[in-house]
Amino acid sequence: MARSKSDKAFDERVAQYSEELRELLTDLYGEQADEAFRNLTELMAKAHDARPADLKRLDTKRLADPEWYKRGNMFGMTMYTDLFAGDLKKLADKVPYLKEQKLTYLHLMPLLKMPHPQNDGGYAVEDFDTVDPSLGTNEDLAALTKKLRAAGISLCLDFVMNHTASSHRWAKAAQAGDPKYQDYYYCHDDRTIPDQYDAVVPEVFPATAPGNFTWNEQMHKWVLTSFYPFQWDLNYRNPNVLVSVLSSVLGLANLGVEVFRIDAVPYIWKELGTNCRNLPQVHAIVRMLRIVLECVCPAVVLKGEVVMAPKELAAYFGTPEKPECHMLYNVSIMVNLWSALASGDVRLLKDQLDKLNALPENCWFVNYLRCHDDIGWGLDEPVEESLGIDPLKHKEFLYHFYEGSVPGSWAMGELYNYDEASKDARSCGTTASLCGVERALITHDKPLLDISMKRDLMMHSAMSFLRGFPMLSCGDEIVQLNGWEYKEDPDRVEDSRNLHRSPFNWENAAKRKQAGTLQKQMWDGLKSVREMRDDPAFAPEAWVTTWDAHNDAVLAVVRHVEGRTVLGLFNFSSARQIARLDSDGDIELPAEVALEPYQVCVVEK
């Protein structure tokens, strides 16, 4: 049978990357590399043959427009399927609501088969190939992705590379004594190696999940469990693990998933004597994932979850010649935005933005204020100290401020993972509640309500002005408040992150069209944000930099492209401020701009 145009293009891509792929496998697996290469190339061919025709057409379209995910019209949202609609079929019925917001990107929280109720929000996966029955079927997922594509929306799914649930079939076989599957994990007869590991490797959750290993009575072995005892770390020293994982990724891509958020990627390779973070082998694996996707399904992009300092981030993009992730979650800027709001001081935020803006052009970010997770106060401590800020006192101020226990705080939230020994803690809550809307409604404080809404919109505007594209947390568009009812559910009460994981309020969503409601105010405000991003200065090639406003309460950001300049000014203070700006070369700016509390001012030059 003659090879089709699509088949020939696939053959050319495989030929282009074959040598590099073999070298990467050899570096990791030595004598096992030949077999791994055969298995992987066979897997890629089967996945290409099975790829639906409409997705192959999308591949061709994306190859002609490789920077599609960097366009100014990119606007995302993240949500839990069950909390938003119930299941995948019902979510498909809600696509018009998403299209109304001109979304181009939808990130659904983990929806693959998981144990119930103990699943870490879906990040403990029982089966990488199958949708959880409570949410639907693989056919439902394929139907949803098709409907989203027709609406111009790309679907993002999490892929948990670091671990499986302890109830995964591989883990069950390991517990039953099968040595083949015990080699899929890190299993040890005694504490010799675990003790050597624990002496160097920090704990992820020292308060709620202390230690890095869990004793399995059935198997009579210690198992590496970096996150929770019911999540077993995968052993990527075994090439069968890599091939199996890549098989599942390609299967999901063929169901229409266009973006994979690879979870906890810095942790996936373990090396005794190191802290097991950001090791070179991690980058080899991510590079191979990128190659496999570019060969089989080039429409698909990778988004990394890398909760690390800015200096660690560039490596996860790879190089222009050998790229890895297409984009990363902008965790550090999210944290710094909330720090600036509480303190009314943008210096730390500006410093972090300068560091990110200095990264190479291939580095791209998904910017957000809230997501399914907590706010972890991982600020740049050396920079804090250079500014005269005590890191520990500032962290304590922030998490107490956002739980509402600091005098003058407008916020309502909760602590997550408080550790008495280190005084470390994280913060939970919806954007609206952390910005003061909930407290204002409870106290019937109209002035507080007005200024809280300004805070909320200012934060969304600032986030949307930065390098990268914005992603909303579902409910932010209708001013969703905290879901305190989680405390009445025995399966959810132990995890305060459930405070901002509550059912979507469809009654409030209906108010988005009613004049005088908070929902319409927010809906219209976010519409203005999208219109702001229609400007040519939001093109992928735009130069983005902070600017000195000569005022520590005002963030100034300049976007410049082809002789056009757009200035964004954001007042993070509850007081009126003056921004004083210096022009420089081609960048001509107003000398002085007055800003009301939490005002956003966009100036086009």
How far apart are alpha carbons 288 and 430 in whole angstroms?
Answer: 37
250 by DSSP, 3-state: which?
helix
User: What would the pLDDT profile of 436-469 be if each residue is shown by its tens digit?
Assistant: 999 999 999 999 999 999 999 999 999 999 999 9
Q: What is the pLDDT of residue 1?
A: 58
pLDDT at residue 49 in the model:
97
Judged by average pLDDT, the poorest of 357-361, 369-373, 497-501 is: 357-361
Over residues 245-258, mean pLDDT: 98
Q: Between helices 138-150 and 53-64, what is the axis angle to 10°?
A: 40
Residue 263 annotated as catalytic: yes
How far, in Å, CA of 554 to CA of 306, rounded? 28
Which helix (DSSP H) or strand (DSSP E) does residue 91 occupy? helix 88-93
And the tokens for 78? 């993240």
Q: What is the pLDDT of residues 174-225, one digit of tens each?
A: 999 999 999 999 999 999 999 999 999 999 887 778 899 999 999 999 999 9
Per-chain mean pLDDT for the chain: 96
Give pLDDT, residue 238. Answer: 98
Is the bond preceding residue 117 a cis peptide, omega within 30 degrees?
yes
pLDDT in tens, 387-437: 999 999 999 999 999 999 999 999 999 999 898 889 999 999 999 999 999
- Is 65 an active-site residue? no
CATH architecture, domain 541-602: Sandwich (2.60)
Task: Please give the single-letter amino acid code of residue 219.
Answer: M
Q: How confident is the model at residue 360 (pLDDT cuts 50, 70, 90)?
A: confident
pLDDT of residue 585: 83
Q: Are 106 and 133 in contact (CB under 8 A)?
A: no
Beta strands in 92-153, from DSSP E residues, in sequence order? 105-108, 112-113, 127-131
Across 527-534, average pLDDT? 96
Residue-wise pLDDT tens digits, 23-66: 999 999 999 999 999 999 999 999 999 999 999 999 999 999 99
Local structure of residue 314 (DSSP, 8 states) = G
* Single pTM value for the model: 0.96
**The pLDDT of residue 486:** 97
CB 77 within 8 A of CB 472: yes
Cis ω before 202 (30° cut-off from 0): no
The β-bridge relationship of strands 375-376 and 127-131 is: unpaired
> Using one digit for the tens of pLDDT, what is the confidence trace for 78-100?
999 999 999 999 999 999 999 99
Same fold, 163-232 and 541-602: no
Percent of the chain scored above 70 by pLDDT?
A: 100
Q: Which neighbouring-strand residues pair with 224?
A: 213
For position 314, what pLDDT does the model report? 87
Residue 313 has what pLDDT? Answer: 84
Q: Are strands 213-216 and 469-473 parallel, antiparallel or unpaired?
A: unpaired
How do the domains of the chain map onto residue ranges? 163-232, 541-602
**Fold (topology level) of 163-232:** Oligo-1,6-glucosidase; domain 2 (3.90.400)
User: How do residues 279-298 score in pLDDT, each as one tens digit?
Assistant: 999 999 999 999 999 999 99
pLDDT tens-digit readout, 577-605: 999 999 998 899 999 999 999 999 999 98
pLDDT at 398: 98
Report the alpha-carbon distance of residue 351 to residue 41 in Å, rounded.
45
Read off the pLDDT band of 361 (50, 70, 90): confident
Please pick, among 258, 263, 294, 380, the residue that the annotation labels catalytic: 263
Q: Which of 498, 518, 508 is nearest to 413 (CA)?
A: 498
The pair of structure tokens assigned to 597 is 């509390």
Q: What is the DSSP letter of 4?
A: P
> Whose CA is closest to 300, among 326, 268, 330, 264?
326
Expressed in percent and rounded to 5, the helix, strand and coil fractions of the chain are 45, 20, 35
Tokens of 533: 């991003």
* Best CA proximity match to 377, nearest among 358, 393, 388, 362: 393
Q: How far apart are CA 509 and CA 190, in angstroms?
A: 56
Q: Which residue has the higher pLDDT, 313 or 178?
A: 178
pLDDT of residue 293: 98
Give the Cα separation of 325 and 162 in Å (integer).
16
Of 233, 305, 373, 477, catalytic = 305
Segment 109-118, tens digit of pLDDT: 999 999 998 8
Q: Give the pLDDT score at 5.
A: 86
